[in-house]
Chains A and B, each alone.
Chain A
Amino acid sequence: MGDEGTLATVLLAMFAGAIRVSTPFLFVSLGECLTEKAGRINLGLEGTLVFGAMTGYALSLHTGSPWLGVLAAGLVGCVFGAIHGYLCKLPKVNDIAIGIALMLFGTGAAFFFGKPYIQPQAARLPSIPLGGWSDNPAVQQALEINPLFIIGFFLAVAMWWAFRNTRWGLVVRTTGDSTPAAVALGIDVDRVRLLATTVGGFFAGVGGSFLSLSYPGSWSEGLSSGQGLMAVALVIFARWNPLACFGAAILFGAAGALGPALQSVGISEGYHFFNAAPYILTLAILVVAVSPKRALRGAPSELSITK
């Protein structure tokens, strides 16, 4: 064994962890990306994520079908997104502040209704074993890929394609880039933003269901570690490009997997420091990527955080 073996173990654990940890990031960031492309920011996705996680778990427990749980999580995400989209439509209502309020409301409501689901064990999402070719059990375990990860990947590609090549993509982009231009084209700006926030909420809810139904795989109040918020930074880092969101989600997943990976080879010193890695990474990315002098490339001009 020696150092090489240890390094391989760490890398393998990080790879497996990156795929596992990145899935909720991927869905929330795609939802946030869609919302922001339409010119609004939804900071409430953290609340949506937690409430989605609770709903998905509860439904999986009651019906025995984790996929129904995923669907239900998405639907409650829609409701949260629609509330945000509707309230922000009203004049003088600030989308950032409403987002914070919905974040607190969503987590509070999830804790409220989630109390009875902390103990029981619900059916989890099955994984697809892609590591059958290897004899190494560690490799096999690392390649147990969740179908949601694969769906998320194709969703990212589809969104990337749709933004460029479809009429709907053009409508969303125009709405996000210039309200007057969109109005001149006869687009109902408020409705586009409402729909974009609602669909974005659906994705965030699905991302939440991954947390409770796959990894970590049970419902608890400390389930989310702020993925819904970090997604906002992640979208900025990805410059509002869905494909880049996929890459950024993997990077964040790897950063989040660093602590547990090192712990698996006995390096527990500084575990909490490595836990902080994704947040420090996000902050560093923001400091480097954003500039007060010029607008970011790819940024929707109607977005309040980049104005």
Chain B
Amino acid sequence: MAELTQAGPQVRTELADRARRSSEYVLVPAVAVLVSAILFSVFLLFLGKSPAQFVELLWKGGFGSWFSLQNTLVRASPFMLTALCVAIPARLGMVVIGGEGALIMGGFGAAVIAIPMVSWAPAPVILAAMAMAGMLAGGIWIGIVGAVRHYRGVNETISSLLLFYIAVSVLNFFVEGVLRDPSDPNKPSTMPIGRENMIGPMPATDVHWGLAAGIVVCVLLYFLMNRTTFGFAARVTGGNLRAAQAQGLPVGRLVMVSCFIGGAAAGLAGFFEVAAIHGKANASLIAGYGFTGILVSFLARHNPLVIIPIAIFLGGIDASGGLIQRRMDLPDATVLVLQGLMFVVLLASETFYGRYSFFRKSEGT
């Protein structure tokens, strides 16, 4: 009898236990963000600036009005897509940081395929071809990283970064050479895709469709990584390579496909930069979105769903940069300092996981 009556509370404690254990993954990053905010405030005070004003301007420039919120959302979309370029390979235990290169190649590939099509094809056909080309170019770019990792054991962090520099050279080589638009005397660019072929804003907003695409891709990849055999196999490989090999999992294919998917997401970001913002490929593609994407993915602990709010948060910081620069007389690199600081503190906070008994399974359950 006594055992039966205990069943109810036991279920409840088990649930509370689970909630307490998973709260570790929310609390530790939250404290890390708070600590970096404090450190950054000290930095500002040291320079004789007001942290309160900084926070106020951050809110005003990033989220405070419909205008600034839209500005934030426009910036959040490439952050989401390039963060996926880090998050998906990260599930296999790889640190890929070349999302910027995949974005450049994606944007370049999209712009190039549009050149012969502009004269005859209708806009939807051109855009579809551009999106495919962008994803393919980005996917192949990071796919190379996966291939040299699997076949040659080359460290993916270094190779992906080298490929970023190579992507910059490839872009400059063509844009300042054979593919240069002769009618544009200012900035070397490819031929424009034409205003009528560009992607417009979503209804009732000034935010282009890249945001919707970013959210959809995040959700899709969350399901791929958490609810499918592929995702499970990938996570097993990331957890223990030997065990995955012993199970007969196709480790090489998993590595390369994951890298391809991540690269394709970043390539899609490049496509939107070309098709919705610049209308052509030029050096403006090299805007550092891929590097912020690394921070986004680490802050989100490589979870595609968590990437969405984090990307919007960092998009807000980015969007308020101009206002902060003008009002507080700080250099535009202020945002970079804040991001770098957050990144360092966040990674250092990894050491606190599993250190406190509060987050552990309670005794006897």
**A contact set with B: CB distance below 8 Å:** 43, 83, 87, 90-94, 96-98, 100-102, 104-109, 111-112, 115, 225-226, 229-230, 232-233, 269-270, 272-273, 275-276, 279-280, 282-283, 286-287, 290-293, 305
Contacts and interface: CB of A to CB of B under 8 A. Distances in A.
A66 B344 CA distance: 31
22 contacts: A87-B347, A90-B348, A92-B351, A101-B340, A101-B343, A102-B340, A102-B344, A104-B295, A108-B339, A109-B336, A111-B333, A112-B333, A229-B158, A229-B162, A276-B169, A282-B162, A283-B159, A286-B152, A286-B155, A286-B158, A290-B152, A290-B154
Contact of A106 (B165, B172, B340, B347): B340
Nearest to B349: A93
Interface in B133-173: 148, 150-155, 157-159, 161-163, 165-166, 169-170, 172-173
A93 B343 contact: no
Given A104-B291, A280-B166, 15 more contacts: A97-B95, A100-B343, A104-B343, A105-B343, A111-B332, A115-B331, A226-B165, A230-B162, A272-B169, A272-B173, A283-B163, A286-B154, A286-B155, A286-B159, A290-B152
A109 B154 CA distance: 30
B340 A109 contact: yes
B161 to A, nearest CB: 5
Nearest to A273: B173
Interface string B343-363: 110111011011000000000
B176 A93 contact: no
B112 interface: no
B166 A283 contact: yes
Contacts of B159: 283, 286
Contacts of B68: none
Contacts of B344: 83, 87, 98, 101-102, 105
Interface of B: 95, 97, 148, 150-155, 157-159, 161-163, 165-166, 169-170, 172-173, 176-177, 291, 294-295, 298, 330-337, 339-341, 343-344, 346-348, 350-351, 353-354
A220 B21 CA distance: 48
A104 B336 contact: yes
B154 to A, nearest CB: 5
A100 B97 contact: yes
A111 B347 contact: no
B157 A94 contact: no
Contacts, number: 140
A286 B336 CA distance: 31
A107 B336 contact: yes
B6 to A, nearest CB: 37
A112 B157 contact: no
The list of the 8 closest CB pairs from A to B, nearest first, reads A105-B340, A108-B336, A292-B153, A276-B169, A111-B333, A101-B343, A272-B173, A90-B351
Contact of B341 (A105, A275, A282): A105
B33 to A, nearest CB: 14
A293 B151 CA distance: 10
A115 B330 CA distance: 10
Contacts of B332: 111
Contacts of A269: 177
B136 to A, nearest CB: 21
Contacts of A90: 348, 351
Q: Which of A93, A108, A286, A292 has the most CB of B within 10 A?
A: A108
A109 B339 CA distance: 10
B260 to A, nearest CB: 18
Contacts of B157: 43, 96, 100, 305
A290 B153 contact: yes
A229 B331 CA distance: 26
Residue among B148, B162, B169, B350 facing the most chain A CB atoms (10 A cut-off): B162
A273 B332 CA distance: 31
A272 B179 CA distance: 14
Given A233-B162, A291-B153, A104 B340 contact: yes
Contacts of B295: 104
A97 B298 contact: yes
Contacts of B163: 279, 283
Nearest to A275: B169
Nearest to A295: B153
A286 B343 CA distance: 28
B169 A92 contact: no
B350 A93 contact: yes
Contact of A94 (B173, B330, B350): B350
Contacts of A225: 165
A245 B152 CA distance: 22
B173 A100 contact: no
B165 to A, nearest CB: 4
Contact of B347 (A98, A283, A293): A98
A290 B337 CA distance: 35
A287 B336 contact: no
Contact of B151 (A87, A96, A292, A305): A292
A96 B95 contact: yes
A291 B173 contact: no
Contacts of A229: 158, 161-162
Contacts of B150: 292
Contacts of A292: 150-153
Nearest to B334: A112
A130 B295 CA distance: 48
A46 B218 CA distance: 31
Contact of B340 (A94, A96, A108, A230): A108
Contacts of A105: 337, 340-341, 343-344
Contacts of A287: 148, 152, 154
A93 B158 contact: no
A13 B199 CA distance: 48
